[in-house]
Amino acid sequence: MRQILFALLSMLSWAILAPATLAHAVLLATTPADGAMLAMPPAAVRLTFNEAVRPLVVRHVAPDGTETDLTDSIAGATELVIPLDGIGRGTHVVSWRVVSEDGHPIPGSLLFSIGEMTGAAAVPAEGDTAVRSAIWLARAAMAIALVVAVGGAAFGAMAPVPQDARRPLIGAAAVALLAAPAYLGLHGLDALGAGFAALATPAPWIAAAGTSFGPSVAMAMAAALLAVAGLWARSAAVLALVLLGVSYAASGHAGAAWPQALTRPLVAVHLIALTLWIGALIPLALSLHTDTTGLRRFSAAIPFAVILLAGSGIALATVQLGGDVAHWRAPYARILAAKLVLLAVVLALAASNRWRLTAPVLAGDAQAVRRMRRGIALELLCAVAILGLTAGWRFTPPPRALAQAAPAAASAFAHLHSDAVMANLIATPGRAGPIAMHIEIGDGDMNPLSVIGATLLLSLPERGIEGLERSASPLDGVEGVWRIPDLVLPFPGTWTVALDIRLSRFSKTTLSGTLTLK
């Protein structure tokens, strides 16, 4: 009886007092603070309200997207204690819907990170300049040494390798055997973003061995060892050559380009042809004054290698440059251009050797031998420079990759409007993770509008993430432009956004819409 009467009278009072007096609990504080970056995971999250509340739904969303319903483990009180057991690194969201005495549900979300912000693939860091220089040096040394050692051994398949060429070839193999593992370790440092000191720990080695460079470097080292053996056994030299080609095809930009069934054999052919040609130069030059068999066979065989080299090179360059001319000015393309210029010099020297000097040398002209040796030395020098340049490709994504990456890194965009006020939201990058939010506020004709505050409320209904509230700060000197530089939206999907715009001290307007993150 009493309850019924009370209920009726309460309803009556509601009817009279509605709508401005609908009351509900207010969230006063959270521990940890919203948006906090913590070193250690908290044992629990605490939400303090101004009055006792009862949880309707409390959910924890882990960095990997796993959702846990914690509703049953939480007792209603003024302070809700949400236990979180053994949560790991990354960005976590605790989302709730609680109800106070008036029965009005109050939603909210709390976002915090442990150790690092997550939500998207880590943006590759620029990396340490010293580490990058060392990587370049190791990669260039490895490439040059391998070409010299393996190519020199392969020359032995055409003609006897002169005695005095053996020492430099074995030396080159030794350099390759040192540079290859060094490159692997440095690659690991780069991948982990660590300094040189970390080379003493297993971490960078394990990290690098797990990438395509692991097997690639192992094959390159095997090729170097086989090249030494190849000085005595032809079959080992041939095997070294094939292994070197496969090693380079197994890693790097070009071998990763689509279609791999085409690009990988092209890379292998390119490497083998290059090695046959350039690697033959040292034993060739050293054999000129004693035995011209090498020169005869070389000049008969190498044009085919040059054709294969040029053909595979053109095909790979076409794939790597891609169709988007806008990206052809990228560092990758500049390295390619420099390489082509040097290649023209090498080809001119080779042509001079082939057509002007080969006949006199074969005829026993001592001066021609000297000139050809000088020509070969220059050719080798240019080839070394080309290999050095090519090692720089390690750091430059090819234009094809830039063109593919462009849409992923592009911004997400939302246009919100009422009759009198409009806003553009630009989220960069337009994917889950740390985001810079740029907000342009304008009047009905999108002329910049000067306002005194802007607050963004974001929720992700599909993941049950209730409103995250983030205030924007004005961009100095630009009317109507506001920013939230350190926004973290941990999950992709269609976020519901509400922009509260404080037009003046006593007036505001709210614009609503959606923002889709990849």
Partner 1 sequence: MIRKTTLALAIAALASPAFAHATFETQQAKVGATYKAVLRVPHGCGTEATHTVRVQIPEGFYNVKPMPKAGWKLETVTGPYAKPYDNHGTQMTEGVKEIVWSEGNLPNAWYDEFVFRGSFAGDLPVDSVIYFPAVQECAGGEAAWIDTSGDPKAAMPAPGVKLIKGGHSH
Q: Is the dihedral of CA 59, 61, 65, 68 positive or negative?
A: negative
First to last CA, the chain: 57
Q: Counting contacts by CB under 8 A, is residue 15 touching partner 1?
A: no
Q: Which of 17, 123, 410, 420: binder of partner 1 (CB under 8 A)?
A: 17
Q: Counting contacts by CB under 8 A, is residue 300 touching partner 1?
A: no
Rounded-to-integer distance, Cα 146 and Cα 148, Å: 5
Q: Is 141 exposed, middle or buried (0-12, 13-18, 19+ CB in 10 A)?
A: buried
Q: Counting contacts by CB under 8 A, is residue 16 touching partner 1?
A: yes
Q: Counting contacts by CB under 8 A, is residue 410 touching partner 1?
A: no
Helix, coil or strand: residue 66: coil
Q: Which of 234, 297, 508, 518: binder of partner 1 (CB under 8 A)?
A: 508
Residue 470 in contact with residue 428, Cβ under 8 Å?
no
- Using the contact rule CB under 8 A, the part of the chain among 12-20, 113-121, 187-195, 271-279 near partner 1 is 12-20
- Using the contact rule CB under 8 A, the part of the chain among 177-185, 289-297, 321-329, 499-507 near partner 1 is 499-507
* Residue 397 preceded by cis peptide, ω within 30: no
Q: Interaction with partner 1 in 28-47: which residues (CB under 8 A)?
A: 28-29
Which one, of 166, 38, 124, lies nearest residue 396 by Cα?
A: 124
Query: x/- binding map, residues 102-141, to partner 1, per CB under 8 A?
Result: --x-------------------------------------
Q: Which of 33, 43, 44, 51: binder of partner 1 (CB under 8 A)?
A: 51
Closest approach, Cβ 453 to partner 1, in A, equals 9
Q: In this complex, which beta carbon is closest to partner 1, that of residue 453 or of residue 493?
A: 453
Q: In this complex, which beta carbon is closest to partner 1, that of residue 224 or of residue 457?
A: 457
Give the pairing of strands 481-489 and 433-443.
antiparallel
- Using the contact rule CB under 8 A, the part of the chain among 14-22, 137-145, 263-271, 405-413 near partner 1 is 14-22
Give the pairing of strands 481-489 and 473-474.
antiparallel
Torsion of CA 176, 345, 381, 130, to 10 degrees: -60
Q: Counting contacts by CB under 8 A, is residue 20 touching partner 1?
A: yes
Give the pairing of strands 481-489 and 412-417.
unpaired
Q: In this complex, which beta carbon is closest to partner 1, that of residue 4 or of residue 39?
A: 4
* Residue 32 preceded by cis peptide, ω within 30: yes
Rounded-to-integer distance, Cα 168 and Cα 173, Å: 9
Task: State which amino acid sits at residue 331.
Answer: P
Q: In this complex, which beta carbon is closest to partner 1, that of residue 22 or of residue 300?
A: 22
Q: In this complex, which beta carbon is closest to partner 1, that of residue 4 or of residue 200?
A: 4
Q: In this complex, which beta carbon is closest to partner 1, that of residue 9 or of residue 130?
A: 9
Q: Counting contacts by CB under 8 A, is residue 24 touching partner 1?
A: yes
Q: Counting contacts by CB under 8 A, is residue 13 touching partner 1?
A: yes
Residue 473 in contact with residue 482, Cβ under 8 Å?
yes
Rounded-to-integer distance, Cα 167 and Cα 120, Å: 52
- Using the contact rule CB under 8 A, the part of the chain among 5-13, 35-43, 290-298, 322-330 near partner 1 is 5-13
Please report where in the chains the tokens 């094959």 appear, as a residue.
219
Binding site for partner 1 (CB under 8 A): 1-2, 5-6, 9-10, 12-13, 16-26, 28-29, 50-51, 104, 502, 505-508, 510
